[in-house]
């Protein structure tokens, strides 16, 4: 099974973990999350600089195997530059694919709450290979 490093703002789901996804350490997640958050519009060069910092974070993480694949997701305007930065370092980039379904849950008072459930269904390769 290929190891896939989670470089998204969300922790890996149990199904993703079964598929080989691992989360960054708490220390690295503390660095990751602010880099994925955009409180205001940024210039292209600033977005590219964030992508480089994220790729450096992956380079600095320790692995027990050869280079992992990297699962990315988030602001669409960051994903292109991030794919480029990771591809330059020869990381395979993947995106999580999930199936959404509606589930109706009857409450104790007889009312029904409709919820959307996201179920991990695989990965889609990034555009750069």
Q: Report how far residue 50's alpha carbon sits from residue 55's, in angstroms, rounded to the nearest whole number.
A: 9
Residue 26 domain-assigned (yes or no)? yes
The whole-number pLDDT of residue 65 equals 66
Residue 69 domain-assigned (yes or no)? yes
The whole-number pLDDT of residue 2 equals 82
Q: Report how far residue 55's alpha carbon sits from residue 117's, in angstroms, rounded to the nearest whole number.
A: 31
Beta strands in the chain (DSSP E): 4-6, 21-23, 69-71, 93-106, 112-125
The whole-number pLDDT of residue 117 equals 86
The whole-number pLDDT of residue 125 equals 94
Burial of 109 (0-12, 13-18, 19+ CB in 10 A): exposed
State the residue range of the domain holding 61.
4-96
β 93-106/112-125 pair status: antiparallel
Residue 124 domain-assigned (yes or no)? no
The whole-number pLDDT of residue 63 equals 66
Q: How many domains does the chain have?
A: 1
**Residues lower than pLDDT 50 in the chain:** none
């Amino acid at each position: 099974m290929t190891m896939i490093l989670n470089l998204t703002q969300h922790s890996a789901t149990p199904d993703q973990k079964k598929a080989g996804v691992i989360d960054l350490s708490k220390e690295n997640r503390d660095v990751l999350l602010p880099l994925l958050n955009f409180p205001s519009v940024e210039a292209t060069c600033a977005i590219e600089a964030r992508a480089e910092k994220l790729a450096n974070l992956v380079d600095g993480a320790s692995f027990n195997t050869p280079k992992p694949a990297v699962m990315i997701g988030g602001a669409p305007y960051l994903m292109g530059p991030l794919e480029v930065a990771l591809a330059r370092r020869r990381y395979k980039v993947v995106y999580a694919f999930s199936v959404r379904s509606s589930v109706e849950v009857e409450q104790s008072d007889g009312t029904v709450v409709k919820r959307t459930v996201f179920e991990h269904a695989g990965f889609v390769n990034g555009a750069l290979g």
